[in-house]
Amino acid sequence: MNKTRLKKSMPLLKDSLFLGFCAAFIIITRIALRLHLKIPGHSMFFLLFFLFIARGCVPWRFSATFTGFLSGIIAVILGIGKGGPLIMLKFVMPGVVIDICALFLPGLFESYFLCALVGFVAAGTKFLDTLIMDYLIGMDHSVILKHALIDASSAVVFGVIASLFVPPVIRKLKAFGVI
């Protein structure tokens, strides 16, 4: 009786641990990339990569959103970034986009084109995030739009590049029986 109960709970535990590790890797890379590389949007690379991997490996409907939420909470607790509690938007919004697209695009994680398209849209949430943050601090409206456009364009480039790494990684994980 206990063995069957344990076997039923193991995938849930395995999936939860995997999402937790993806969230931890997002934070670790965010901390490691605090070096000033003078390249705006470079942290979007690892954020989108691990959000895609979280959704591609765990069959829960909102696993990327949950991973973004976990990493957002950790970022707020550790004080990573300059947004305070609003820093969670940077982590949650791309996860929501990935989850919604994964619901409507069944072959998302096997297609380079679909991954690049979803990566483009998910990284494009940086525009909305920057727009909200700049508006809240009281910037001029013409400056807000230009700043958000510049930040989003570089984030989109890194987001698309990150999404192109997802199909081979998912394929390898399936071949080795991890997922």
Residue 12 has a pLDDT of 83
Residue 179 or residue 42, greater confidence: 42
CA angle 79-146-68, nearest 5°? 35
pLDDT category at 101 given cuts 50, 70, 90 is very high
pLDDT tens digits, one per residue of 10-52: 568 888 999 999 999 999 998 887 766 677 778 899 999 999 9
Domain coordinates of the chain in residue numbers? 14-169
- The full 3-state SS of the chain, as one line of letters, equals CHHHHHHHHHHHHHHHHHHHHHHHHHHHHHHHCCCCCCCCCCHHHHHHHHHHHHHHHCCCCCHHHHHHHHHHHHHHHHCCCCCHHHHHHHHHHHHHHHHHHHHHCCCHHHCHHHHHHHHHHHHCHHHHHHHHHHHHHCCCHHHHHHHHHHHHHHHHHHHHHHHHCHHHHHHHHHHCCCC
pLDDT at residue 143 tops 60: yes
CA separation, residue 91 to residues 3, 30, 103 (Å): 38, 11, 19
129, exposed or middle or buried, with CB in 10 Å at 0-12, 13-18, 19+?
Answer: buried
Residue 5 has a pLDDT of 47
Residue 74 has a pLDDT of 94
pLDDT at residue 85 tops 90: no
Determine the average pLDDT of the residues in 134-142: 87
What's the CATH fold of domain 14-169?
A: Arp2/3 complex 21 kDa subunit ARPC3 (1.10.1760)
The pTM of the full predicted model, rounded to 2 decimals, is: 0.89
